[in-house]
């Protein structure tokens, strides 16, 4: 079994990406770079720009991300040019008639990837920003995995949380969604200072993954703060218009 705490930074064509050390699926988080700049934060032109790296374009699932908890199936009716609302994708080989690709886009929100401990029958990809974490899209995604593949598939799974905005760089005022977050986030993942509320999204996602049944030793955090890493990451709060591109295909 590959070590979930390992990931690799790779580079080609003036473009860098992170590759979690998961076997059986090609999963990459493309970072700030020349090819992503060409994509202008949009899924279809971004995938086209990445063709020199990823090769032939297959049917691509690229939902309209709305910070909710809908997790899409890997079905042809969810591929471009149709754009379906959703913030997660369960890329699943069962019953698939052709190879599909899945993608999500990020600029401060957290990419979450969950894979089985053995084999490559599925990959769960989630877009979990502050609202997605408050609403617990992790729970929604893993319930879908459990319904499809059983409880053991969740308990033995491995998870990776990619770069997202760090707690020290994410202050919120005391408005409605902040109060909802205070009801959800564990106190260790909230810091109150100067009348502002600072939320550790990555830390809370680790807790939610554990609560959903994945053992702590099978969960890895990238530890990369999108706001602070201008060299690698786009940041919405920093004013960037680009988006990092999470892409996966079963192999």
In a domain, 139, yes or no: yes
Tens digits of pLDDT across the chain (251 residues): 344 445 668 888 889 999 887 777 899 999 999 999 999 999 999 999 999 999 999 999 999 999 999 999 999 999 999 999 999 999 997 655 678 999 999 999 999 999 998 766 899 999 999 999 999 999 999 999 999 999 999 999 999 999 999 999 999 999 999 999 999 999 999 999 999 999 999 999 999 999 999 999 999 999 999 999 998 999 999 999 999 999 999 87
Q: What is the pLDDT of residue 38?
A: 94
CA angle (69, 216, 142) in 5-degree steps: 25
Q: What does the alpha-carbon distance between residue 20 and residue 123 come to, in Å, rounded to a whole number?
A: 12
In a domain, 42, yes or no: yes
In a domain, 1, yes or no: no
In a domain, 61, yes or no: yes
CB 98 within 8 A of CB 75: no
Q: State the residue range of the domain holding 144.
A: 7-250
Q: What is the pLDDT of residue 95?
A: 55
The owner of tokens 């999470």 is 246
Q: What is the pLDDT of residue 1?
A: 37
Q: What is the pLDDT of residue 22?
A: 79
In a domain, 88, yes or no: yes
Q: What is the pLDDT of residue 138?
A: 98
Q: What is the pLDDT of residue 4?
A: 46
Give counts: helices (H), strands (E), the chain: 8, 15
Q: What is the pLDDT of residue 7?
A: 60
In a domain, 2, yes or no: no
Q: What is the pLDDT of residue 97?
A: 60
**Which two three-digit tokens encode residue 92?**
């699943």
DSSP state at residue 68: S
CATH number, domain containing residue 178:
3.60.140.10
DSSP state at residue 227: T
**Which two three-digit tokens encode residue 24?**
């059986």
Tell me whether the omega of the peptide bond preceding residue 133 falls within 30 degrees of 0, making it cis.
no
Q: What does the alpha-carbon distance between residue 136 and residue 140 come to, in Å, rounded to a whole number?
A: 7
How many CA atoms, within 13 angstroms, populate the side-chain half-sphere of residue 173?
1
Q: Residues 110, 115, 121, 123: what is their CA dihedral angle, to the nearest 10 degrees?
A: 0
In a domain, 155, yes or no: yes
The owner of tokens 């990445």 is 50
Q: What is the pLDDT of residue 5?
A: 47
**Number of domains into which the chain is organized:** 1
- Residue 188: φ, ψ to 5°: -70, -15
Q: What is the pLDDT of residue 118?
A: 73
Q: What is the pLDDT of residue 141?
A: 98
In a domain, 56, yes or no: yes
């Amino acid at each position: 079994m590959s070590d979930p705490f390992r990931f690799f930074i790779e580079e080609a064509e003036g473009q860098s990406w992170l590759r979690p050390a998961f076997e059986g699926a090609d999963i990459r988080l493309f970072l700030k770079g020349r090819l992503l700049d060409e994509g202008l934060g949009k899924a279809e032109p971004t995938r086209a720009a990445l063709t020199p790296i990823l090769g032939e374009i297959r049917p691509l699932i690229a939902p309209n991300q709305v910070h909710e908890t809908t997790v899409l199936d890997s079905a042809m009716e969810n591929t471009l040019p149709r754009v379906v609302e959703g913030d997660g994708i369960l890329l699943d080989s069962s019953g698939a008639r052709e190879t599909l690709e899945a993608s999500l886009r990020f600029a401060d929100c957290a990419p979450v990837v969950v894979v089985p401990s053995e084999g490559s029958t599925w990959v769960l990809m989630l877009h979990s920003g502050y609202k997605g974490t408050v609403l617990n899209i992790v729970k929604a995604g893993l319930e879908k995995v459990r319904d499809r593949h059983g409880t053991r598939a969740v308990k033995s799974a491995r998870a990776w949380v990619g770069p997202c905005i760090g707690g020290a760089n994410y202050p919120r005022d005391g408005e409605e969604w902040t109060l909802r977050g205070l009801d959800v986030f564990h106190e260790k993942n909230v810091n109150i200072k100067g009348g502002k509320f600072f939320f550790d999204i990555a830390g809370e996602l680790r807790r939610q993954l554990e609560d959903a049944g994945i053992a702590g030793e099978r969960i890895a955090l990238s530890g990369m703060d999108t706001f602070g890493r201008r060299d690698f990451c786009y940041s919405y709060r920093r004013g960037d218009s680009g988006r990092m591109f999470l892409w996966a295909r079963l192999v």
